[in-house]
Amino acid sequence: MLFSSLKQTLQLLCGHSLPEKELSRLVHTSRLIIQKYLLHFRSSLSALSENIGLSASDIAYDCLGEIFARDKDNTFHRIEEFISHLEKGFDDTSETEIFFAYEGLLSAVADAHLARLYAQADPTGAKILRNIRDTVKKTFFFSLHKDFRGSVLIPNNIESLDHLPEFPLEQLSARFILKTNRDNTTGQLLEILFRILTEQQTFRRSVPLNDIVQLFKKIYPAQSGAEISENEDGEFSLHVVDGAFTQFELDQMRLHVEETVKEKIFLTYYTKGKVDKKQAESLFYAMQDVITDWMYSQDGQETLRPYIQKYLRLDDAAYENNFRLKMEYLRKIAREEFAKRLTKEI
């Protein structure tokens, strides 16, 4: 989509006069922009993809659901909000400026969604990430900045050597593990990392924050799981928890299946106007309940109607005509995804 066409496209969209073909084109272009951003500028995506099997395309579709959601007045409220917050106003903002501002909106939504997924898929990593951020503020070893890699830690009071190649994570990890143990607090781990980075002149001294999270996690056996506790000094340590990995694996499978179901609802029903936003959300919440019953070995309901009825008031005719086949199709998709994931694990 060219700079010159986006401004007119957004104007028509908010005026409820954008042809369906052009709307599809806008959605397609937006998806490509989000995917490019995720693949080239978010280093945390690779770790997230390994954990839950979601690709950049999967995450982009979920972001599109938020950006192009309609409110009760059938307006694209997120797009209208974006336009209303343009500093110079819509009319006085150039096509190029609007394009780059729109890219900023897409990347902001992607960042927020990635953070939520990361917290769901890797709760231990999310806690470590939060603890690192908090500890950096209280110590003098690093400063937190943003660059093309996302959030990075840069050692204080020394040249960052950003003209040099990236420090290979495998090498950094090997050196880090040799100097650490499970009793180290977050502050002590950051000090060890600081010394490793500043005592060498071969690689960059700045490191993506998500890479540091992975470093901290590698100290502890992944198969045992981990939890984080706070000591009397307000710093955090990690402790191994036996028997947590199986539940963690199940949580990953569940998240993957739910994301697949959500994508099907979005692409098959919502974008084609077969359900509105509330109905799409109700379908998803109902399927979450179905999946919960499966995971906790409950028999569940004999029919799928009670699941959707919990979120939508439906009479017999409305359920039969509009939702029964949709629910049965989504249940089939969920079962297939569970079977695929379980077979892969075995």
What pLDDT digit, counting tens, does each position of 228-258 carry?
444 444 444 434 333 333 455 666 777 888 8
138 against 40, higher pLDDT: 138
**Least confident window among 8-12, 143-147, 237-241:** 237-241
User: Where is 282: in which H helix or E strand?
Assistant: helix 277-295
Looking at the fold, whether 135 and 228 belong to one and the same domain comes out as yes
Looking at the fold, whether 73 and 152 belong to one and the same domain comes out as no
Q: Which of 121, 153, 178 is the last residue of a domain?
A: 121
Q: Average the pLDDT over 134-138 and give the result.
A: 87
Residue 155 β-bridge partners: 142
In which domain, by residue range, is 260 found? 246-345
Check the CA dihedral 159-161-112-19 and report its sign: positive
Would you tell me how many other CB atoms lie within 10 Å of the CB of residue 286? 25
Q: Average the pLDDT over 145-155 and give the result.
A: 80
Q: Which of 121, 150, 185 is the last residue of a domain?
A: 121
Would you tell me how many other CB atoms lie within 10 Å of the CB of residue 118? 21
Per-residue pLDDT, 257: 85
Q: Which of 72, 100, 121 is the last residue of a domain?
A: 121
Cα(64)–Cα(115) distance, integer angstroms: 16
Looking at the fold, whether 145 and 78 belong to one and the same domain comes out as no
Looking at the fold, whether 207 and 274 belong to one and the same domain comes out as no
Walk across the sheet containing 142-147 and list its strands: 142-147, 150-155, 207-208
Looking at the fold, whether 339 and 325 belong to one and the same domain comes out as yes
Phi, psi of 174 (to 5 degrees): -60, -45
Total number of domains constituting the chain:
3
pLDDT digits (tens, 9 = 90+) for 18-47: 888 888 889 989 999 998 888 877 766 666
Looking at the fold, whether 273 and 221 belong to one and the same domain comes out as no
Nearest one of 32, 5, 29, 33 to 18, comparing CA atoms: 5
Decide: residue 300, CB within 10 A, 0-12 exposed, 13-18 middle, 19+ buried.
middle
pLDDT value at 50 more than 90: no
Looking at the fold, whether 90 and 194 belong to one and the same domain comes out as no
Looking at the fold, whether 262 and 329 belong to one and the same domain comes out as yes
Cα(199)–Cα(155) distance, integer angstroms: 11
pLDDT value at 130 more than 70: yes
pLDDT value at 227 more than 80: no
Residue 332 β-bridge partners: none
Tokens of 24: 């599809």
Per-residue pLDDT, 3: 52
Per-residue pLDDT, 217: 79
Q: What is the DSSP string of 171-237?
A: HHHHHHHHT--TT--HHHHHHHHHHHHHT--SS-S-EEHHHHHHHHHHTS-GGG-EEEEE-TTS-EE
Q: What is the pTM of this model?
A: 0.48
Looking at the fold, whether 113 and 129 belong to one and the same domain comes out as no
Query: What share of the chain has pLDDT > 90, as a percent?
Result: 17
**Least confident window among 42-56, 81-95, 108-122, 241-255:** 241-255
**Least confident window among 59-73, 113-127, 135-149, 239-253:** 239-253
Residue 144 β-bridge partners: 153
pLDDT band at 119; cut points 50, 70, 90: low
Per-residue pLDDT, 202: 92
Looking at the fold, whether 238 and 308 belong to one and the same domain comes out as no
Looking at the fold, whether 252 and 229 belong to one and the same domain comes out as no
128 against 252, higher pLDDT: 128
Looking at the fold, whether 157 and 232 belong to one and the same domain comes out as yes
